[in-house]
Amino acid sequence: MNLRDAQPSPIGWQARLDLRYSASAGERTVLSHRRHTGPLLVQKPFYPEGPRVCHSTLVHPPGGIAGGDRLELHVEVEAGAHAVITTPGAAKWYRSTGNQAAQRCELSVGRDAMLEWLPQPSIVFDGARGTQSLRVRLGSNARYIGWDIVCLGRTARGERFETGELHTRTDIEGEDRRLWSDCAAIQGGGVLLRSRAGLAGHPVTGLFLAGGVDIDRDLIEGCRQVEPTASSLCGVTSLPAILAARFVGDSTEVAWQYFTALWQLARPVLMGRVACSPRIWQT
């Protein structure tokens, strides 16, 4: 479908993007398949660290997610391939008068393959109504690093998330068992936003996940030595084949810096490469 011919339905944009990364001869990772319906696209791949790793940037031309929008992303990283996926800017969840918006990501990482899912933060406007889900399936010896950063309300304008709702779910599955499952239901103006057991009055929350194989104890301890600013809360823990870190604070920039520091520690251990920032982060 040509983007110029795409039109929103009466209830919003309906968009889907399918990507497949394959390891070709000479261990080069290529974007071997791409198909989109509606306004969800991928830019030309880049290779800032050589042919082994393919960097891609996802683009949603409307610039935000409104009530009734349905976005779906399906990514398959085939055996032996290595992909890094990011976005050019913050995802914006707009205020809705009733219809709910949804974003669903399905990521499949094949045997001995690697995927880094590093999107820019999301900003959830006051009054937004959204559902966001991420499901990662890992094959034998597959490696994954990913994060999600959410800002509730346009804090630069003094806005807080007083009305609306946001539902999130993250699942990581191995070949024979579930490695991680996490869900949240955040109501605008709700108790969870103020409770010390929730966000304690902070508007920014984030989750960092890495794994697929047993986590080295030195890596866990190294990540625990990384701390954001004093006004933020963070914690690092581990489960079989998963390292997890959470962030609660007042700044998406601080959350981004914290998760980037964790990525810089985890990538060499899990993927055998020093961290190489996607090109779009420099623009």
- The per-residue DSSP string of 39-51 comes to S-EEPPPB-TT-T
**Reported pTM:** 0.94
Q: With beta carbons less than 8 A apart as the criterion, state whether 83 and 54 touch.
A: yes
pLDDT number for residue 27: 84
Per the document, the length of the chain is 283
pLDDT at res. 59: 96
| Phi, psi torsion values for 20, nearest 5 degrees | -135, 130
* Enclosing domain of residue 87: 3-282
Which 3 state secondary structure label does DSSP give 211? strand
Q: How far is CA 126 from CA 62, 244, 272, in A?
A: 19, 28, 42
Quick one: DSSP state of residue 257?
A: H
Question: Three-state SS across 107-167?
Answer: EEECCCCEEEEECCCEEECCCEEEEEEEEEEECCCCEEEEEEEEEECCHHHCCCCCCCEEE
Residue 252's pLDDT is what? 96
Is the CB of residue 65 less than 8 Å from the CB of residue 32?
no
Question: Is 105 in a helix, a strand, or coil?
Answer: strand
Q: What is the pLDDT of residue 188?
A: 96
DSSP-derived 3-state class of residue 253: helix
At 79 the three-state DSSP class reads coil
Both structure tokens of 282: 């420099």
Number of folded domains that form the chain: 1
Where the chain has pLDDT below 50, the residues are 1-8
